[in-house]
């Protein structure tokens, strides 16, 4: 999206300079380039996911971490995605290589966690790669937290009428490759 806007600004600046000098051939070429860009690139709709509020007031969901389904709760107070040791083991993360050197305050009290990076984390059609996360020691938490290290990557998120709406960024695609393959 940023690249598209940058190209558009550069073309607009070029077109403005050409118009200022009044060369009809240059104006026609600039117009043709702008028209070509708009024809060959389209924005797909931004992927969005709605999560209803649970009976206890939480927003719970089923995410896929490296392709493995895992229950999670949205936690905007968590600076990172936080996984239970049990979930990390089920996903196949290299637990024997982790160093539990991060101090962490949870609802259950103080604990230690280990840093790692998730190859892929998806919530519905929202897919993020290389997501920073923490893993807590065995038995320290009961639920995985979808924290700000995932939420900050989205275009927007917010609560409206007891539903949490997560919205990703639209992608620019060439008109020659408009079809999307389904992931998940």
Parse the chain into domains and list their residue ranges: 2-43, 48-172
* Confidence at residue 174, expressed as pLDDT on a 0 to 100 scale: 45
H-type alpha helices, the chain:
2-21, 24-40, 85-91, 148-151
H-type alpha helices, 48-139:
85-91
- 95 vs 92: CA distance, rounded Å: 8
CB atoms closer than 10 angstroms to residue 28: 11
- 123 vs 120: CA distance, rounded Å: 10
CB atoms closer than 10 angstroms to residue 140: 19
Fold of 48-172: Cathepsin D, subunit A; domain 1 (2.40.70)
Query: What is the pTM for the complete model shown?
Result: 0.70
pLDDT reading at 18 higher than 80: no
pLDDT reading at 140 higher than 60: yes
pLDDT reading at 178 higher than 50: no
* Confidence at residue 176, expressed as pLDDT on a 0 to 100 scale: 41
pLDDT digits (tens, 9 = 90+) for 71-126: 999 999 999 999 999 999 999 999 999 999 999 987 778 899 999 999 999 999 99
31 vs 95: which has the higher pLDDT: 95
Calculate mean pLDDT across residues 117-146.
Answer: 95
- Phi first, then psi, for residue 28 (nearest 5°) are -65, -40
Token output for 175? 């008109």
């Amino acid at each position: 999206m940023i690249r598209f806007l940058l190209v558009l600004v550069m073309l607009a600046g070029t077109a403005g300079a050409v118009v200022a000098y009044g060369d009809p051939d240059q104006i026609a070429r600039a117009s043709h380039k702008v028209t070509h860009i708009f024809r060959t690139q389209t924005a797909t709709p931004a992927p969005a996911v709605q999560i209803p509020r649970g009976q206890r007031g939480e927003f719970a969901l089923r995410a896929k971490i490296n392709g493995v389904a895992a229950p999670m709760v949205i936690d905007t107070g968590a600076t990172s995605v936080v996984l239970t040791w049990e979930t990390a083991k089920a996903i196949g993360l290299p637990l024997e290589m982790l160093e539990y050197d991060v101090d962490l305050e949870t609802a259950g009290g103080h604990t230690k966690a280990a840093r790692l990076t998730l190859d892929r984390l998806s919530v519905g059609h929202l897919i993020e790669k290389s997501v920073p996360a923490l893993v807590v020691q065995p038995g320290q938490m009961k639920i995985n937290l979808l924290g700000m290290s995932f939420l900050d990557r989205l275009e927007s998120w917010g609560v409206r009428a007891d539903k949490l709406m997560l919205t990703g960024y639209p992608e620019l695609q060439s008109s020659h490759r408009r079809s999307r393959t389904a992931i998940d």
